[in-house]
């Protein structure tokens, strides 16, 4: 505690460690060092050409993007860079050239830092209070935090007594850090999204594909919640995932998840971050069944594939009739990022008995952006998410060579090992019936159907 107290400073003192031209990294997703970031933004006029890298939690409390957006020419002083966009203001900064995005697999970020291919000068990390030995937990986000700490010139911890203490390879000792700021704020809450009727229909198709004793990976939102309800009758499931969400907690409490039949971290949840309700944060706090690891381990396809019957379930925005899928752009506009989709798609495909599943609604409302990407496949207020070709500018997140199962509310089909004609037929079969005639017509024009 004597060493700890010597390093405690105010947020403004800590922020003064940032120099013009520095590259500053923030811990991934929920661990948001709000006090230091606010102090850094406050002294922006003293700085030039600072790059601020973040993969933020999609929560209104992460408000510095909105603040920077409201300040003319703020990017000359502090420019935001991300590997995964989550917030509207963050997307607007990118789309207007005032921010930027790095195309990167989530699992590759630690390697980029370790190999000095990505520069880091200052690491900002929110952590739990230290234990008796002086170790703080990275809380709800291991991610690439260890690589940040090992490669940064200056390490700043924001200690938060309301930050859950997780166990695993997610610790930092106070001897490793330069400054400590105390800020005991509430964790950002990402509430459960209740499943709609379409989510339940998609979940029913996925349920038929998942065997007992599978190792599962889910994202968050309505579809995963609906899937979780379908899995209540399963036995012996294991979890190897990027993110722990409330659905896992429910399935564990009712006995569907045991983690006894997986290979990597047998008996435990293996994950790299968590996001959800306060109930989830209370449940994972000091929970010996949670094994938090760096993303370079959790998302390594080779590591994932060591587990039996891996089922990876990930969402996409659009897919074309050859199987090219995007999860990250609407037209040329960056909407999210590739995250760990490719990592888990490839890991599941190489797993013994594994299945990589991409899910999407067959059609959506005619939002202006979606309509502009597929104007020939729009009727009334609907636009198809299964299209003949990905429109110009759309980013291919999952190449057609890697796509296996595709699920919509109208069914589930496997494209792996199928020729182009059969792929087109299968995808048209799970498209919105409203658009099936148009898709068949376009497929013939593109010589995908006779």
Q: 163 phi and psi, to 5 degrees?
A: -85, 125
Establish whether 242 is a catalytic residue: yes
Among 159, 129, 145, which Cα is nearest to 54's?
Answer: 145
Reading the block at residue 8, the tokens are: 């405690």
Residue 442 to residue 62: CA distance in whole angstroms: 44
**Burial of residue 253 (number of CB atoms within 10 Å: 0-12, 13-18, 19+):** exposed
Residue 362 to residue 385: CA distance in whole angstroms: 5
Strand runs labelled E in 335-392:
355-359, 363-365, 378-379, 382-384, 386-387
Residue in 242, 409, 440, 442 annotated catalytic: 242
Residue 24 to residue 123: CA distance in whole angstroms: 6
Residue 143 to residue 208: CA distance in whole angstroms: 32
Among 440, 404, 402, 198, which Cα is nearest to 321's?
Answer: 440
Residue 440 to residue 438: CA distance in whole angstroms: 5
Q: Which residues of 152-172 are buried (b: 16+ CB within 10 A; e: fewer)?
A: bebbbbbbbeebbbbbbebbb
β-pair type (78-82, 99-101): parallel
Residue 416 to residue 406: CA distance in whole angstroms: 10
- Provide the CA 450 distance to its chain's centre, in angstroms: 40
CB 106 within 8 A of CB 343: yes
Torsion region of 8: left, alpha or beta (phi above 0 gives left; psi -120 to 50 gives alpha): beta
C-alpha angle 172/174/176, rounded to 5°? Answer: 70
Residue 250 to residue 10: CA distance in whole angstroms: 40
CA distances from 70 to 52, 73, 155 (A): 17, 9, 29
List active site positions: 242
């Amino acid at each position: 505690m004597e060493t700890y107290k010597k390093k405690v400073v105010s947020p403004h003192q800590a922020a003064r460690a940032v120099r013009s031209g520095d590259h500053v990294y923030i811990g991934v997703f929920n661990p948001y060092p709000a006090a230091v970031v606010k102090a850094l933004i406050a002294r922006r006029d003293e700085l030039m050409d600072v790059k601020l890298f973040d993969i933020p939690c999609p929560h209104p409390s992460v408000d510095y993007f909105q603040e920077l957006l409201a300040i003319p020419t703020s990017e000359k002083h502090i420019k935001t860079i991300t590997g995964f966009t989550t917030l509207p203001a963050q997307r607007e900064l990118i789309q207007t050239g005032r921010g930027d995005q790095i195309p990167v697999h989530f699992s590759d970020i630690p390697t980029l830092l370790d190999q000095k291919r990505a520069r880091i000068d200052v690491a900002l990390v929110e952590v739990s209070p230290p234990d008796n030995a002086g170790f703080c937990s990275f809380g709800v986000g291991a991610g690439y935090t260890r690589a940040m700490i090992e490669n940064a010139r200056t390490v700043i911890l924001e200690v938060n007594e309301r930050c859950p203490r997780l166990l695993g390879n997610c610790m930092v000792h106070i001897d490793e850090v330069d400054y400590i700021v105390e800020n005991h704020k509430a964790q950002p809450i990402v509430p459960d999204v209740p499943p709609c009727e379409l989510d339940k229909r998609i979940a029913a198709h996925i349920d038929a594909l998942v065997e007992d004793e599978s190792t599962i990976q889910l994202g968050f939102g309505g579809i995963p919640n609906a899937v979780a309800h379908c899995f209540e009758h399963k036995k012996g499931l294991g979890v190897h995932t990027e993110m722990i969400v409330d659905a896992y907690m429910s399935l564990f409490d009712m006995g569907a998840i045991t983690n006894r039949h997986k290979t990597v971290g047998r008996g435990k949840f293996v994950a790299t971050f968590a996001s959800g309700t306060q109930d989830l944060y209370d449940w994972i706090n000091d929970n010996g069944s949670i094994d938090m690891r760096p993303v370079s381990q959790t998302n390594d396809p080779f590591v994932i594939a060591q587990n039996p019957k891996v089922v990876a379930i990930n969402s996409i925005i659009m897919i074309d009739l050859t199987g090219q899928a995007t999860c990250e752009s609407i037209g040329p506009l960056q909407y999210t990022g590739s995250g760990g989709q490719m990592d888990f798609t490839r890991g599941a495909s190489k797993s013994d008995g594994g299945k990589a599943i991409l899910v999407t609604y067959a059609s959506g409302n005619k939002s202006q952006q979606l309509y502009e990407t597929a104007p020939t496949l729009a009727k009334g207020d609907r636009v198809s998410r299964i299209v003949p070709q990905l429109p110009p500018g759309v980013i291919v997140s999952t190449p057609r060579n890697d796509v296996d199962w595709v699920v919509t509310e109208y069914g589930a089909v496997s494209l792996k090992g199928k020729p182009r004609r059969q792929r087109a037929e299968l995808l048209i079969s799970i498209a919105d019936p409203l658009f099936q005639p148009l898709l068949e017509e376009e497929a013939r024009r593109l010589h995908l159907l006779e």
